[in-house]
Amino acid sequence: MTMSLDGAVADPERFATVFDAHYEEIRRYVGRRLDIDIAEDLAAETFLIAFRRRGSFDAAKGTIRAWLYGIATHLIGRHRRAELRRYRALARSASPAADDGHDQRVVDRVAAGVTVQKLSAALAGLSRGERDVVLLVAYGELTYEEVAAALDVAYGTVASRLSRARTKLRDALGVEV
Amino acid sequence: MKEFQLIDEVMPDAPPADQARVMAVRARMLSDGRRHRLPAWSRVALTAAAVSVVLVGGFIAAPLLGGPGTQTATALGPAAVLEAAADRLAARPPGTGAWWRRELVQVLRSKAMYGFTVEQRVEEVLWVNREGEQRTERGDVSAKPLTPADEQVWKDSGSPKLCEPSDDCQIGRFYFSPVDQVKPVANLPTDPEALKAELLKHFPVSGKENKEAWLWAVANWLLLNTESTPGTRAALYRMLADLPSARVTDGVTDPDGRTGVALMYGGPNALGQIVIDRDSGDLLALQDEQVPANGLDDVGTFNSYVVKQLGWTDEAPGSD
C-alpha cells in the first residue's frame, strides 16, 4: 500500500479512495453525454468494471483518471444512438432548462450565436471517434497523451481526429472552437 | 482559454449527484470485491441498493447488497458492525493494575526523491500510572523501500540514503490536541451525548476552529494516548460516527494487514481513519492519508499508528 492511488488500484481495500477521488467527475462526464438515468448506471458500471479489472491497470500506460475515462467512454459507445438522440433533441428544443445555471460567459456565447441547439447539432455531426476525443478534452480536460491512453489509440490518431473535428465544428458553427 | 472551452461552457451540465445513491454505488462496488460472486451489474440491483441506503442519526448504513444467488442474509452494514463492536467494548471492565500501557508501531510511508516509496517504522510504548505520571519509550527508526518494485527503483537510483542525514532518520509524531482540563479521563462519560457535551465545554471559544474537526482530534488523542475506559472509548466511536461529516466504512486495513471497520473523517486529499476490530471493538490503528489535490498518482504520505496492545497491566516501565 502506498499513498499513490496507483497502489490503491491494486488493493481492493483501498480502491474506495479511487472511487472517492474520481466518481463524481466520471458521473458528470457521462451525464453530459447521456440522459441521467442511463448515465447513473454507466458511471456505476465504470467503477464496478474498474474494480474487477484493477489487476490489469498499468500505471506505465497512463493515469488512473485516463483509465477510468477510457472505461466510461467505452461504455458510452454502447449507447451511441441514445447519445445522438439526446443531441438531436437538444438541437430541436428551445430548451430554456438546458441553459439554467449557466453563467454570463454562456450568455456571451449565445450572443455570439453558439447555442446549445447549434452545438448539439454539430456534435451529432461528428463521428464517434471524433466526438470521444473532443469531449474527453472538453469535459474531462484530458491531455492528448491521456486521451490516447484512455482510448488505447496512437497519439497521432488523437491529433488527426481532433483536427478533423475542429474543422467540422468550425464549419457548423461559423466560429473557431 | 482551454481547448474546447466553448463546448464545456455551452453544453448542459449533469444534475447534481444524490449522495445516498453515490454511497450505495460505492458500497456495492466494494462488496463486489469481498464476495467475488455477485452477478453483473443491473439497473434493478442499483435501484435496490439506492433504496436500501438508510441514514440513521448520521450513520451511513449501506448494506452489502447483491442480486439473486448471493449471500446477503448475514451481511451487516458498516454502521451496524461498528455499533456491535462498540457494545462489546463498552461491556468490558476498565481493567486492573498500576500502569496503563500502550504499545504501537508508527508507520510512515512517503514518496522519496526519484519516485520510490519509503516506509519508516518506529516502536513506541506509553506508560501512564493511576496518578497520571507518564513515560514514553521510543525505539530506533527503520527505513526501507516499501515494495520490491520500490527497492528496484531505489537501487536503479544509486541506492541513496533513505533518510535525510540532518534528521538522523527521525520521524515526526502527530500531536493530537491534548485537552488537559478533561482529566482525569477515567471519569469521562460513557454516553456519547454526555461525552460530547463534556468535551465541548473545552472547545476554544475565541478560535475559529471547526467543531467537528476539533472533536475528531480530541477523540484521536483520547483513544491513542490516554487511559480512557472501555465505556468512554465506545462512546467516542459513537460520538464520532454521529458527526455529520464522518462516515463509517468496513474493510479498512492497517499496514500490518489487519482489517476492521473504520470511522473516516476528511476528504480524498486528507483522510483520517480510526480502524477498529470488528469483534472486540479494540482500536487497531489511527491512520492519516495525505494526497495532493492535483496529481492523485503523485506524491503523498500515509501515516499509521498501529496499536499492538493497550490496557492496564501489572507490568511497570523498565520491567520488560
Judged against a pLDDT cut of 60, whether residue B30 lies above it is answered with yes
pLDDT of residue B21: 80
- Lowest-confidence region among A152-161, B59-68, B271-280: B59-68
- Give the helix, strand, coil percentages of chain A, each rounded to 5: 75, 0, 25
Longest CA–CA separation in chain A, Å: 52
Contact between residue B153 and residue B147 where contact means Cβ atoms under 8 Å apart: no
Using a CB-CB cut-off of 8 Å, the residues of chain B touching A46 are none
Asked whether the beta carbons of residue B32 and residue A141 sit closer than 8 angstroms, the reply is no
Q: Cα(B14)–Cα(B320) distance, rounded to whole angstroms?
A: 62
**Lowest-confidence region among A88-92, B113-117, B238-242:** B113-117
Cell, residue B39: 452477478
| pLDDT digit string, tens, across residues B162-176 | 765 444 565 655 555
C-alpha distances in Å from residue B123, one per residue of A60, A75, A100, B105, B309: 35, 49, 58, 4, 12
Q: What is the pLDDT of residue B207?
A: 61
Query: Residues 32-91, chain A: which have Cβ within 8 Å of B?
Result: 32, 36, 39-41, 43-45, 47-48, 51-52, 59, 63-65, 90
Of B185, B175, B179, B281, the residue nearest B232 (C-alpha):
B185
CB A5 within 8 A of CB B291: yes
Instruction: Say whether residue B131 is in contact with chain A using an 8 A CB cutoff.
Output: no
User: A40, A75, A78, A117: which to substitute to probe chain B, counting the most B Cβ within 10 Å?
Assistant: A40
Q: Check if the beta carbon of residue A61 is closer than 8 Å to that of residue A151.
A: no
> What is the chain B residue with the closest CA to A66?
B297
Interface touch A13/B253, C-beta < 8 Å = yes
Among candidates A47, A105, A134 on the partner chain, residue whose Cβ is nearest the Cβ of B9: A105
Which region among A17-31, A36-50, A107-121 has the lowest average model confidence (pLDDT)?
Answer: A107-121
**What are the boundaries of each domain within chain B?**
3-76, 99-313
- Extract the C-alpha cell encoding B70: 448471493
B302: left (phi over 0), alpha (psi -120 to 50) or beta: beta
Q: What is the pLDDT of residues B53-108, one digit of tens each?
A: 222 222 222 222 333 333 333 467 899 999 999 999 999 999 999 999 999 999 98
User: Measured between CB atoms, does B74 come within 8 Å of chain A?
Assistant: no
Name the strand (E) or helix (H) holding A38.
helix A36-52
Structure confidence at residue B297 (pLDDT): 43
> Which of A4, A19, A87, A134 should be substituted to probe chain B, the one whose Cβ sees the most B Cβ atoms within 10 Å?
A4
Distance of alpha carbon A18 from alpha carbon B296, whole angstroms: 9
Q: Note whether B41 contacts A1, CB cutoff 8 Å.
A: no
Chain A and chain B share a number of CB contacts under 8 A equal to 159
- For residues B299 and B103, is the Cβ–Cβ distance under 8 A? no
Secondary structure (DSSP) of A107-138: HHHHHTT--HHHHHHHHHTS-HHHHHHHHHHH
Chain A residues in contact with B259 by the CB 8 A cut-off are 13
B168-197: average pLDDT: 76
DSSP per-residue letters across chain B: --TTHHHHHHSPPPPPP-HHHHHHHHHHHHHHHHHS-PPPP-HHHHHHHHHH-EEETTEEE------TTS--TT---HHHHHHHHHHHHHTS----SSEEEEEEEEEEEEE-GGG-EEEEEEEEEEEEETT--EEEEE---EEEESSHHHHHHHHHTT---SS-GGGTT--PPPP----GGG--GGGS-SSHHHHHHHHHTTS-SSS---HHHHHHHHHHHHHHHS---HHHHHHHHHHHHTSTTEEEEEEEE-TTS-EEEEEEEEETTEEEEEEE-TTT--EEEEEEEE--SS-TTS--EEEEEEEEEEEEES--TT--
The one-letter amino acid code at B53 reads V
Distance from CA of B121 to the nearest CA of A (A): 14
Where residue B237 falls among pLDDT bands split at 50, 70, 90? very high
Global pTM?
0.51
